[in-house]
Amino acid sequence: MIAKELFGSTGHLSTRVLFGAASLSRVTQDEADRTFEILLKYGVNHIDTAANYGDAELLIGPWMKKHRQEFFLATKSDKRTYREAKEELHRSLERLQVDSVDLWQMHLLVEPEDWEIAMGPGGALEAFTEAREQGLTRFLGVTGHGLSTPAIHLRSLERFNFDSVLFPYNYQLMQSPQYASETEKLLSVCSKRQVAVQTIKSLAAGPWGKHKQTRATWYQPLENQEDIDLAVHWVLSRTQLFLNTVGDIDLLPKVLDAAARFESGPSDQEMQKMFERTGMQPLFEEA
């Protein structure tokens, strides 16, 4: 089974590995059902989905009718105005077949213009705080992709007391001095304020580039169990972090297997060898 830690200040003991339901974007209900059986096998008790993950919410819905109490349920909205965000939350609740979620997150909030709209008068933040007051969600979070995400999240935490953040984090990204510095600043603030920290792209090896895309992920992922072990264990070696699983259901068992066997993190030498062996390339372009 996979170890659990308190998810920030929520009081919930979440498995260190959270199910990233982006992997359900383009699968059938039968495939989704088999995926949930795997999650139950490993004791995963936290689902992270989003309104724009294809049919993911619809596929999760039947499972929530039977297993709602077994999962901490999180979804996201990328709408920036009060009205749009409010409408999307109600649509998500209907699709998920639940009365409320545990965590509702502002999705991909990284562009300055989007940030100003969402955080300003009539913005999505008003819908988020209202939803919490109405009991439609218990906690609120913010997510982002790209190299600017840690810095933007710090700005978001200055504006509002979010309960969680989500951003890219892997060995390759942390070799960038600027990204590493901004990430450490964010992690320090989150630690002091008990903000839960979710990470994505742990298995990213780089863009597909000239390679034929053979996985559901928009990036080329690590696929060998040995490499996946190193990548997963490297993230889990920081007890502050939760790892969101890869966006391909066929790689999910390998990630969960690695997490279940986690005891300690790999050395820098082991990670550097893996970095060189796999030919990792930057996933995001420097500004």
Amino acid (1-letter code) at residue 246 = V
- Conformation bin of residue 11: beta by default, left when phi > 0, alpha when psi is -120 to 50: left
Mean pLDDT of 224-233: 98
Q: What pLDDT is recorded for position 272?
A: 95
**pLDDT by residue (tens digit) across 127-179?**
999 999 999 999 999 999 999 999 999 999 999 999 999 999 999 999 999 99
- Conformation bin of residue 32: beta by default, left when phi > 0, alpha when psi is -120 to 50: alpha
Amino acid (1-letter code) at residue 29 = Q
Q: 65, 4, 73, 63: which is closest to 35 by C-alpha?
A: 63
Its CATH class, for the domain covering 4-278, is: alpha beta
- Residue 287 reports pLDDT greater than 80: no
- Residue 66 reports pLDDT greater than 80: yes
Distance CA 247, CA 202 (A): 11
- Residue 265 reports pLDDT greater than 80: yes
Q: Convert 159-191 to b/e letters by CB count within 10 Å (16 or more is b).
A: eeebbbbbbbbbbbbbeeeebeebbeebbebbe
**pLDDT by residue (tens digit) across 13-50?**
999 999 999 999 999 999 999 999 999 999 999 999 99
- High-pLDDT (> 70) share of the chain, %: 99
Q: Domain locations in the chain?
A: 4-278
Q: How many residues does this entry show for the chain? A: 287
Tokens of 50: 């989003």
**pLDDT by residue (tens digit) across 170-215?**
999 999 999 999 999 999 999 999 999 999 999 998 888 878 888 8
Tokens of 96: 């998920």
- Residue 227 reports pLDDT greater than 60: yes
**pLDDT by residue (tens digit) across 73-129?**
999 999 999 999 999 999 999 999 999 999 999 999 999 999 999 999 999 999 999
Mean pLDDT of the chain: 96
Cβ neighbors of 78 (< 8 A, separation 6 or more) are: 50, 51, 52, 106, 107, 108
CA distances from 218 to 28, 151, 208, 247, 248 (A): 19, 24, 8, 9, 10
Mean pLDDT of 217-221: 85
DSSP secondary structure letter of residue 109:
T
Q: What pLDDT is recorded for position 21?
A: 98
* pTM summary value: 0.96
Distance CA 139, CA 64 (A): 19
Q: What pLDDT is recorded for position 140?
A: 99
Q: What pLDDT is recorded for position 146?
A: 94
